[in-house]
Amino acid sequence: MAFPDIQSFMRLLEQRGELLRVTTPVSRELEITEIADRMVKQGGPALLFENVTGSDYPVAIGLLGTKERVALTLGVDDLDGLAEKVRALIDLSGGGSKLGLLSNVTKLRDAMNLPPRRVRNAPVQEVVWRGDEVDLSKIPVLKCWPLDGGPFVTLPLVITKDPETGERNMGMYRVQVMSKNSTGMHWQRHKTGTKHLEKARKLGQRLEVAVAIGGDPALIYAATAPLPPVPGLDEFALAGYLRGQRYPVARGVTVDLDVPANAEFVLEGYVDPSEDWVMEGPFGDHTGFYTLPDLYPHFHVTAVTMRRNPVYPATIVGRPPMEDAYLIEASERLFLPAAQLIIPEIVDYHMPPAGVAHNLVFVSIKKSYPGQAYKVANGLFGLGQMMFAKVIVVLDEDVPVTDFGAVWREVTRKAVPGRDTLTTRGPIDVLDHSSRGWGYGGKLIIDATTKRPEEVGSAASSRPDQAGDVLSPEGFTPRAAHDLPTFDGVLAQRQTPDGYWLVALHKTRAGQARDLAAAFAAHPAAQGIRHLLICDDQTDVNDLQDVWWTILNNIDAERDVWVQGELLAWDGAQKIPEEGFVREWPPKIVMDQGVVDRVDRLWNVYGLPESLR
């Protein structure tokens, strides 16, 4: 099903009972975030805030807040249907017979839907602000978290054109409102927008930019998708394929760029590469930590166009699970066939929410020779944005990669620390705060596949279970917390039946985590333990998702994961200058308690279900 625009999608959600209207006045500063955060974490409905203080426009949020709603926007019954849709497009086989060729006609017709189509009358250009009329404060842009540097557009479709080739790009880069007519432009060093700006700088010209807000929800998804660099394939083309019809675009009123004709708002303007960059941030990011302030390009808004009665769509990011987890899952399904074309032994893969996309990848394979797990993992590191992956766990084909607990149980059964773990280095997401350098750090491969004789014989260990094909934690009984050893700074700890020892540490000195690991590994309580997970003092050791989320955010795998005795130690505690860590350590995102209390008081006034409070 193709939706003409986001408002038609909202109407369908409301008919299905998946969108609730809130008529009570709400603040765009923190209050909407607190309500929406509770809703998405419980799989609740999308929300339409009709009375936003200081703005004439309503705010819609959580529209893609479940995997079922994402599947609905992309025209499939479930997200696995995306893989089949792409597999059908790229498999143009059928032999040389007339019948074989005719079998491809439908697929080729789908492919012909890729190019966008130009329209003259665009709903998004019904109202136009130019020059002094431009006032971004009239648009209900949200301040999401207490330490945010200001209001941020969180669902922006940022459109640029290569100054040399004319090829379009659309990406979802956060946009911080700086004044009534300017914003920051968060183009990271790996992003296409940065490359376009650099080309404009060399040519001595401004780079035109358009920021669309809204449109067909399939286009919103497409802006987040990690598209391969295939000529003619851009985000408009992907949205056209997903919706089964060419995407409508219009020429901007002050920029020579195609913009989605069915968007709600479009900000038009330019970035001048000769200008000094502006300080942008902090921002409560999808990692669940704040991204600290840094210098980014300055976007000057020359015009704002909109519908006569627009809705402002938004999302929030922060501690997982969040709405972006379902967009990530859609991309997994969409690009699985392409990954299998390049690495055919891949059966499935998954990026769990605790890994906030790049930090953790589970991949199952059909294994037929020794070392194949490392071949697959290194192949994944070379695939597009998978280069940012921090930890890759490789599993046998019968292991369900979406079962978080099952995967980690398989790791304790089949991966011997040291023998079946390998660290390397490479590009890291620039939002990663723990890496050895900005955008550069350590990576970890865990081979949790069934071992072949060649892979076992090299193990140098006195433990008899390390010479076999499969480790067996059966019979291991975790010790109660009061029977575990004490150590300076340990606030809480527990062991799990599958061989993990979880520790919350209040760190006060250099080397404290390594000293802890040495003491615990040598203690009798370590017998049967495979992994020691050392977390910061804000981590709930009784919440496995919270533990892994903290660990994966706070490690550089080369520096912070090591073999200690017979176990693998993971140092997910905060790094400090005395240890040679010179970068500033960001805080975790926590909502202001006053806002939490206000939302608690007004929950029934908002008219929201008590069960989702």
Q: What are the φ and ψ backbone dihedral angles of 248, each rounded to 5 degrees? A: -80, 130
Of the residues 148, 216, 285, 498, only one is catalytic, namely: 285
SS3 assignment for 468-491: CCCCCCCCCCCCCHHHCCCCCCEE
Q: Is 285 a catalytic residue?
A: yes
Residue closest to 203 by CA, chosen among 160, 256, 163: 163
| Residues 381/360/390/376 CA torsion (nearest 10 deg) | -30
Rounded Cα distance, 613 and 335, in Å: 36
- Identify residue 69 by its one-letter amino acid code: R
- Separation in Å, CA 14 to CA 11, 17, 46, 546: 5, 5, 9, 33
Residue closest to 85 by CA, chosen among 335, 274, 361: 335
Residue closest to 423 by CA, chosen among 556, 550, 566: 556
Rounded Cα distance, 220 and 327, in Å: 10
Beta bridge partners of 314: 61
Asked if 203 contacts 73 with a C-beta cutoff of 8 angstroms, the reply is no
Six-digit token string for 484: 């575990």
**Helix, strand, coil percentages, rounded to 5, for the chain:** 30, 25, 45
Q: Catalytic residue positions?
A: 285
